[in-house]
Amino acid sequence: MNPKFLLFLSLFLYSTAFSQDIYDKYPTGQTDYVGGNVQFYKDFHQVLIDKKMQPCENKNEAFSFRIVVYPDKKIKYVKSEDAESLEKNKCAFALTKEVAKYLTGWNPAVVDGNKVAALTSFWIIPHELFQDLKEGYDPVNDMEMATYEGGINNFRKKVFQSIDLSRFTFTGTFRLTVTFVVETDGKISNVKLAESSGLKAFDDMVVKSISQIRNKWTPGNIHGIPVRYHFKLPLAFTMD
């Protein structure tokens, strides 16, 4: 169940440290649930009905639920880095933890012929899952990415304008990659360095400059519900 967008996170598991390695994603072509996303959501919906669970009061709750699937098909929950998002979607989170107890289709990842522990995630929108699901229901397919006025290249232009290149003397091209989150209110947060230019002072300046850009984005959404959207932004700076 690999989302079409990249999720960047630190692994903080509810239990204590585990001795085995945990892969940060499933290998290409493998699925974390027998029957894929569509079957996962069918099973999730059926558990809600069979167990007569109650829907969330807030119809706009939408939460990216993260778990590690182990070789023995057991799962462990990954604590969200974003306490605010967790608080806003605590019903969705609690509901998913309860439903997961009854799901039996977990499919461990396989690397070099061996089952391994791997991280996966899926979007839970309780309001939709309590209703009859349309054929092939999978909210990831309907996600609309966050957008910046004028497009991503206009945001790059804003980044370049905010950086003081006169502080550095170099020739050639410096490349680096940053990641950040577009929040549900359109602000950016969690600006981090993903790939270094090789010059720490330059990297730090770029990250700081991006963090201080105040222009808002249009947040990503699923079926009209704003959701946090993770961006990976490659940048290149050329000096003669």
What's the mean pLDDT in 79-85? Answer: 75
- Say what the pLDDT of residue 78 is: 87
- Say what the pLDDT of residue 216 is: 86
Could you identify the residue written with the tokens 């050639």? 172
Summarised one tens digit per residue, pLDDT across range 136-149 is 999 999 999 999 99
What integer best gives the mean pLDDT of the chain? 87
CB 69 within 8 A of CB 120: yes
Of the pLDDT bands very low, low, confident and very high (cuts 50, 70, 90), residue 169 is: confident
CATH topology of domain 152-239: 3.30.1150
**This prediction's pTM:** 0.76
Could you identify the residue written with the tokens 């598991």? 13
pLDDT above 90: residue 167: no
- Say what the pLDDT of residue 88 is: 87
- Say what the pLDDT of residue 87 is: 87
Domain ranges of the chain: 22-143, 152-239
pLDDT above 60: residue 14: no
- Say what the pLDDT of residue 20 is: 60
Return the structure tokens found at 69. 């699937």
Return the structure tokens found at 209. 């400059």
Summarised one tens digit per residue, pLDDT across range 42-78 is 999 999 999 999 999 999 999 888 999 999 999 999 8
